[in-house]
Structure formats: structure tokens, C-alpha cells
Amino acid sequence: MSMSPAMLAALQSRNPMLVHLLKIELPGKTIRLVDGSGFVLWGAESYTAEDADFGKIAGFGEFTEAEGTEAPRQTVQLLPTGNAAIAALTAPSAQGSPVTIYAAAIDRQTGQVIGEPDIRFVGELDDGGFNPAQNSSLLELEVATIWERLFDDNEGHRWNDAFWTYLYGSNARAFQHVTNAGQKLFWGYNGPSSGSGGSYGGGNGSIGGGNDHARYDQV
């Protein structure tokens, strides 16, 4: 998503004001916070420096891109108001709550967002850690993207008869005779063969090398 022209122009002006907006959509309440002091207005939404129930922002983790097989993650540090806030943010019911972090250019006179905020991170609450200190308490929330679910082998519908009938009843026997779902299937042919030679059969749609062939209309 590209940055809005109005926001880009504001950032190119002299001494722009840039803030981060945090939205956490808990089951019972949506938290809207801005780092720093004061408040920010974005349409019908108001982002305040401190939430009466959940406290204020202490900081964010580094905004970097994930590499290789890692799913993007982010940390949000909050200064909670008390034990009730900590319990609500780390409760099992809060896990999976949507979290969005924006960067926004602000009009100093009105407190209004200029253009559209730029989305820096979209994810969901994963887990949290609490670090008590003498003068303050720091709650660090781990936020994961939904792409991390792709690394969970047990997520989603599996191609086996037991799981399918568990979901849809004993009469839904769509995968009753499926026995090779765990095998690697090649589209149109049986894949690399250890046999020698190669062939192409016209008319019956078989291709490949060695002795093992499969018709494309039987895959």
C-alpha cells in the first residue's frame, strides 16, 4: 500500500509531526492510543495518549521485514494502569485480537490526521510478558501476523476421513478412500523418474521419462 499524497506532502514540509497510532481490538473494548502526549483525531476515531483502563504506550519493537521462512512479528510495550489491565491483555480470550499500528502525519493546530495514516503492521495478539520495576510496570505484548498460521501443521482442514467426518458428520465420507494425501503429487505426470530414456505419447496424454507414466486426465 502506497503512502497517501497528502501525508507524503506533509512529511516533506518543514518540521512535520509524525506519530504512531495503535489499535487493539479486544473482545470487550477497542483500545486506541497515540505515542507521545495529547490526542489525535482520525475521522470518527479518537486516539489518546493514555487509556483510562489500559494505560499508555511505552514503545515498539523495530519495524523490520522478515526474511526466509520467518513470519513477521512485532512487540508493543505498554505501561498498564494496574493488574486488571494486565489480566485483560494477557487473558486467553484476548489472544488473537486484531492489532494495527499506523504512522500518521498530524496537523499541529487541529490534531487531525493529514491524509491517510500509513499502515506499519497488521497482526494479532499472541502472548505477553510482564516486567515489574520499582517505579513502573512494563507489559510487552508479542504480536504475530496471520501468516504465522501457515507454519502450523494442525491448522485448517486436513485431507483425511477422520477429521472430515468430525467436522461434517458421519455421512460426509469425501475422503474415505484417500490414502496418499501425504505424498507429493506432480501435476500432469509422476515427477522425476529413476528410469532411463524418455517418451512422449501422443493421443493418450502421457509424458515423462522411464517406465512410469500418468495421463493428465487421471491426476
Secondary structure class of 176 (helix, strand, coil)? coil
Which residues contact residue 117 at a Cβ distance below 8 angstroms, ignoring those fewer than 6 apart? Answer: 7, 21, 42, 102, 103, 104
Concatenate the DSSP letters of all residues of 24-52 into one string. Answer: EE-SS-EEEEESSSSEEEETTEEEESEET
* Residue 133: predicted pLDDT: 64
Distance CA 71, CA 146 (A): 9
Q: Given this model, what pLDDT does residue 173 score?
A: 73
Helix (H, G, I), strand (E, B), or coil: what is residue 86? helix
Q: Which residues pair with 92 in a beta bridge?
A: none
Q: Tell me the residue type at 29.
A: K
Coil vs helix vs strand at 182: coil
Residue 193 has what pLDDT? 59
pLDDT at 187: 54
Give residue 215's pLDDT.
Answer: 43
pLDDT tens, residue order, the chain (219 aa): 578 889 999 888 888 899 999 999 999 999 999 998 888 999 899 999 999 999 999 999 876 665 555 667 889 999 999 889 999 999 989 998 999 999 999 998 888 999 999 999 999 998 888 776 656 688 999 998 876 665 555 545 556 677 777 777 877 776 777 666 566 555 555 556 555 444 444 444 444 444 444 443 444
